[in-house]
Amino acid sequence: MKKRTWTTEEKLAIVLEGLRSERQIAEICREHQISQTMYYRWRDRFLEGGTRALADGRKEKDTYRAKIEQLEKIIAKQAIQIEILKKNEGAVGEIEAVERLVGEGYRVKDACEALGVSRSRYYARRKRGQKVGKKREEKERDDGRLMEKIRDLVGEHPYWGYRRVAWWLRRREGEEVSEKRVRGLMKGAGLMCRREKKKARRGSGRGKPVARRPREWWGIDMTKVLVKGIGWVYLVIVLDWYTKKLVGWKVSVRGRSEEWCAAMEMAVEREFPEGVRGRGLRLVSDNGSQPLSRSFMKAMEVLGIEQVFTSYNNPKGNADTERMIRTMKEELLWLREWEHVGELEEAVRGWAEEYNRHYVHSALGYRSPEEYEALWAQMQGEEVA
């Protein structure tokens, strides 16, 4: 550790402080981090010099008196600085420290000198801080306004992540906001989705079909919903893999192949009003009893729909349809208790229409199924032209 070098003025100030006998020598030495040996050595030299000054005459005596007065001023100034530094403990920054001391009655000059801050710097930082404070207040008001919209969105869609929320605010609400800002606001309010990352050990060498156009690949699957007084009620859905459009569904107290056929009939009537035969439609399903039943397979054969079954131990085989079921659970089925089947059926019908028109997908460039379908039709028209 480098040894400190003391100036003559500092030595004299410490010696004079000890000669006043206002404080104990040990306390003075601890404060200045010197040993008593060093202090007494300085004091002896000072007294010897004073004796010589008295012996040399009045002129030198006056000179030393002036020197002593000067040193007393230095000591008083140092005492003020020490007191200022003690009161500055716990301050965050130097400008805040000066502000605090000025508020306690110290002059700006003394506070700045004690803290080693130039007055010009202090005034410039204070002026800039006032501007920053105004901007901070504006940002806090704007954050509060955005949080109201974010809370409303998350209330309606509790499983939406910050990317989807940010997109909606920008494109649908006209807000100039970044994903980073939305993420910070949602994280601060505890609105972020919690995800459990589980790695499946299953695998399959068979790839998943890729849809190149609407009404080329459909998926069908079933889930169940608990209804008071009845028990489990079954919901069958049919999904267009290209547009993510919910094209057919059926709610029933039974989950037979008859209900699966009803969901398919609804989808075919909506999407193929001129007939489905010869359109090259393929239907993906798991290996359950309903899609493998004779009645269902016969109905698909009559309609000219080719059935494609997922391979065993392949969790991605019908992933698009299964992900759609999860979306319905998160956005509708899990959010309330159902009193009767009619209530559930009506809610599914309304939700499906709203979903097809307005629910945005990141895989579709943050467009809704109907918007993406219209975009595809527009592109096909441009290519033909």
**Is residue 193 included in any domain, yes or no?**
no
Contact 216, 282 (CB under 8 A): yes
Q: Show which of 73, 98, 121 is a domain's final residue.
A: 121
pLDDT at 176 over 80: yes
Average pLDDT, the chain: 83
Residue 144 shares a structural domain with residue 112: no
CA atoms of 364 and 212, how far apart (whole Å): 13
Q: Which amino acid is at 258?
A: E
Residue 104 shares a structural domain with residue 243: no
Q: Span 242-257, mean pLDDT?
A: 95
Q: Span 182-187, mean pLDDT?
A: 87
**Is residue 208 included in any domain, yes or no?**
no
Total domains present in the chain:
3
Residue 193: band (very low, low, confident or very high) from pLDDT cuts 50, 70, 90: confident
Contact 223, 235 (CB under 8 A): yes
Look at the pTM and tell me if it is higher than 0.75: no
Looking at the DSSP bridge assignments, the partners of residue 235 are 223, 251
Residue 59 shares a structural domain with residue 177: no
Q: Show which of 173, 188, 203 is a domain's final residue.
A: 188
Contact 314, 209 (CB under 8 A): no
Residue 298 shares a structural domain with residue 151: no
Give the pLDDT of residue 51: 62
Give the pLDDT of residue 385: 40
CA atoms of 367 and 379, how far apart (whole Å): 15
Task: List, for residues 78-133, the tens digit of each pLDDT value.
Answer: 666 566 555 555 445 677 777 777 777 777 877 777 777 788 887 887 777 665 55
- Alpha helices by DSSP H, the chain: 8-19, 25-32, 36-56, 58-87, 94-103, 108-115, 119-156, 162-171, 179-188, 257-271, 294-303, 319-328, 341-358, 369-384
Contact 230, 224 (CB under 8 A): no
* Residue-number span of the structural domain to which 160 is assigned: 132-188
CA atoms of 89 and 177, how far apart (whole Å): 39
* C-alpha closest to that of 251 among 352, 356, 326, 327: 352
Contact 325, 223 (CB under 8 A): yes
Residue 231 shares a structural domain with residue 271: yes
Of 185 and 74, the structure prediction assigns the larger pLDDT to 185
CATH number assigned to the domain comprising residue 380: 3.30.420.10
Tell me the CA end-to-end span of the chain in Å, nearest whole number.
84
Give the pLDDT of residue 83: 62
Of 23 and 277, the structure prediction assigns the larger pLDDT to 277
Residue 299 shares a structural domain with residue 351: yes
Give the pLDDT of residue 262: 94
pLDDT at 268 over 80: yes
Q: Judging by beta carbons within 10 Å of its beta carbon (0-12, 13-18, 19+), is residue 89 exposed, middle or buried?
A: exposed
Residue 229 shares a structural domain with residue 180: no
Give the pLDDT of residue 352: 95
Residue 238 shares a structural domain with residue 375: yes
CA atoms of 212 and 210, how far apart (whole Å): 6
Q: Judging by beta carbons within 10 Å of its beta carbon (0-12, 13-18, 19+), is residue 167 exposed, middle or buried?
A: middle
Least confident of 167-181, 242-256, 359-373: 167-181
Looking at the DSSP bridge assignments, the partners of residue 219 are 239, 284
Give the pLDDT of residue 383: 54
Give the pLDDT of residue 344: 95
Residue 181 shares a structural domain with residue 241: no
Determine how β-strand 217-227 pairs with β-strand 282-285. parallel
Contact 87, 99 (CB under 8 A): no
CB neighbourhood size of 148 (10 A): 9
Give the pLDDT of residue 159: 79
Contact 294, 182 (CB under 8 A): no
**Is residue 210 included in any domain, yes or no?**
no
pLDDT at 213 over 80: yes
Task: List, for residues 329-384, the tens digit of each pLDDT value.
Answer: 999 999 889 999 999 999 999 999 999 999 988 889 889 999 999 999 998 875 54
Retrieve residue 49's tokens. Answer: 């010099």
Q: Span 129-150, mean pLDDT?
A: 75
Give the pLDDT of residue 54: 55
Q: Show which of 149, 167, 188 is a domain's final residue.
A: 188
Task: List, for residues 41-75, the tens digit of each pLDDT value.
Answer: 888 888 887 666 555 555 666 776 777 777 766 66
CA atoms of 243 and 374, how far apart (whole Å): 10
